[in-house]
Amino acid sequence: MTTVVRRQANSRKSYWNPSTVATVAGMTVFSLMMAFPFVWMFSTSLKVPATAFKLPPELWPYEWRFENYRQVLQHPTVPVPKFFLNSFKIATLVTLGQLVTCTTAAYAFARLRFPGSSFLFMLFLTSIMVPGQVTIIPMFILMRKLGLMNTHGALIVPGLTSVFGVFMLRQFFMTLPNELEDAARIDGAGTFRILWQVMIPLVGPGLATLAVITFNGSWNAFFGPLIFLNDWTKFTWPLGMAMLRGQYGEGSMSVQMAGISLGVIPTAILFALGQRFIIESITFSGIKG
C-alpha cells in the first residue's frame, strides 16, 4: 500500500526538462505571432493614424485615445450603431429559430420512428455537400419573387433552419440512453412532453454550442448580406466595416480598427463563456465522424 502511494507521489515529472522547455518556448513565440493581428488592431484603435504607422510598432499606445471610438459611434456619414443593431437583430432571430427547429428535428431523427426517416436523413446529409454559393443565384431570384429582396427577411428566413444543427444535435440525442424515454412513457408522458422535460435539459451543452456557433456565424456573415442588402441603412456589421473604409480607402485607419474592435467584442464574450463547450463539441463530433 505504502509503495503505491509513494510511486504516485513521485510520478509527476518536473516540467523543467529540455523537451518541454523547448516546446513551451516555441509555442509562446508562435502564439504571440498568432495573436498579433488582434493586438495590433486594438492598439491601433487607440492611436492617431499618424502615430499608428510608426515603425517599429508602438504596441502600447503612448496615450489611449478613445476619441476613435467616439468617432466611430458618432460617424457623420456611416451609421455604425445601426449596423450593430441590425446584426444583433438578425443573429438573435436566426439563433432562436435554429434552436427550436434543430432541436425538434434532431430529436425526431434520433429517437422517433416514422416512415421514411432514414431516407430523409440521407437526403439531408447530401445538402451539406451543396455549398451556399452554388445556390446563391436561384436564391437571389427567389427572394426577389418573394419580395424579400433588400430586407433582413432574406437573411433570416433561410437561416431559421440548419442541416448542420440538426446533424450535430442528433449526435447528442443519440448518446442519451433509450431507457429514459421508456421510463417517461411508462410514467405517462406523451411525445412532446418527453422532449420538453426530459430530453432537452440533458442536451444543454449541445444547445449551448449550437446557439454560440449560430449566433457567431450570423454575426460574422458577409456574403449573404452583401448579396441581399442594397440599402446601406440595413447593412450588417461586416458590410458596415467595409463601408468605413470608403470608396478609395480614405477612411481613417484608426477609426476602422475601433469599429472592428467593437464588432469583435460579442465574439470574444461568447468565446470566453462558451469556448469549453465549443471545443468539446468539435472534439466530440470529430471522434464520431
Partner 1 sequence: MSRTAIVSSEVAIGEVAATRPRKLSTYRRIEALWAYLFISPTMISFFVFVLGALIYGLGLSLYRYAFFAPPQFVGLDNFRTLLQDQRVVNIFGNTVYYSIAMVAFDLVWATAVALALNSYMPNFLKILYRMIFFFPVLTSGAVIAIVWRYLFNADLGIINWFLGRFGVAKIPWLMSSKWVRPAVVLFTVWNGVGFNMVLILAGLRSIPKTLYEAADIDGAGRVATFRHITIPLLTPTLFFIIVKGFIGVFQLFDQPFMIARGGPGDASRSIVMYIYELGFQAMRLGSASSVALVLFLIILLITLLQFWGGKHWVFYR
Hey, is 164 helix, strand or coil? helix
CB 7 to partner 1: min, Å: 16
CA-nearest of 106, 100, 99 to 121 is 106
Based on the shown chain and the rule CB under 8 A, indicate whether residue 223 belongs to the binding site for partner 1: yes
Toward partner 1, which CB reaches closer, 79 or 212? 212
Query: Near partner 1 by CB under 8 A, which window of 3-11, 69-77, 170-178, 184-192?
Result: 184-192
How many residues bind to partner 1 according to rule CB under 8 A? 95
Considering the rule CB under 8 A, would residue 257 count as an interface residue with partner 1? yes
- 11 contributes a contact to partner 1 by CB under 8 A: no
2, 5, 15, 122: residue in contact with partner 1 (rule CB under 8 A): 15
Asked if 86 and 152 touch (Cβ cutoff 8 Å), the reply is yes
Query: Which residue lies nearer to partner 1 by CB, 172 or 219?
Result: 219
Closest CA to 235 of 90, 75, 137, 138: 90
Scanning residues 79 to 138, which ones bind partner 1 (CB under 8 A)? 100-102, 104-105, 107-109, 112-115, 117, 120, 123-124, 127, 129-138
Closer residue to partner 1, CB minimum distance, 1 or 65: 65
Q: How far is CA 71 from CA 33, 53, 119, 259, in A?
A: 30, 19, 55, 9
Nearer to partner 1, 41 or 180 (CB): 41
CA distances from 136 to 128, 155, 212, 238 (A): 15, 12, 25, 19
Q: Which is nearer to partner 1, 1 or 217 (CB)?
A: 217
Task: State which amino acid sits at residue 289.
Answer: G
Residue ranges in 59-88 that form contacts with partner 1 under rule CB under 8 A: none
- Closest to partner 1 by CB, 2 or 12: 12
Select 79 or 240, whichever has its Cβ closest to partner 1.
240
- Asked whether 74 and 255 are in contact (CB, 8 A), the reply is no
Stretch that binds partner 1, among 61-69, 73-81, 172-180, 239-247 (CB under 8 A): 239-247
Nearer to partner 1, 36 or 64 (CB): 36
* Helix intervals (H) in 45-111: 49-52, 67-73, 80-111
Residues 6+ apart with CB under 8 A from 164: 128
Residues 18-37 that bind partner 1 (CB under 8 A): 19-20, 23-24, 26-27, 30-31, 34-37
Alpha-helical runs (H) found in 115-230: 117-129, 136-146, 153-159, 163-174, 178-186, 191-193, 200-202, 204-220, 223-228
C-alpha cell at 5: 502511494
CB of 229 to partner 1, least distance (A): 12
Helix (H) or strand (E) holding 265: helix 253-288
Query: Which of 182, 185, 196, 204 contacts partner 1 by CB under 8 A?
Result: 185
Which conformational region is residue 147 in: left (phi greater than 0), alpha (psi within -120 to 50 degrees), or beta?
left
Which candidate, 196, 165, 160, 175, places its Cα nearest to that of 111? 175
Residues 137-176: x/- map of binding to partner 1 (CB under 8 A)? Answer: xxxxxx---------------x-xxxx--x----------
CB of 90 to partner 1, least distance (A): 14
User: Is residue 196 a contact point for partner 1 (CB under 8 A)?
Assistant: no
As given in the structure block, the three cell numbers for residue 23 are 516546446
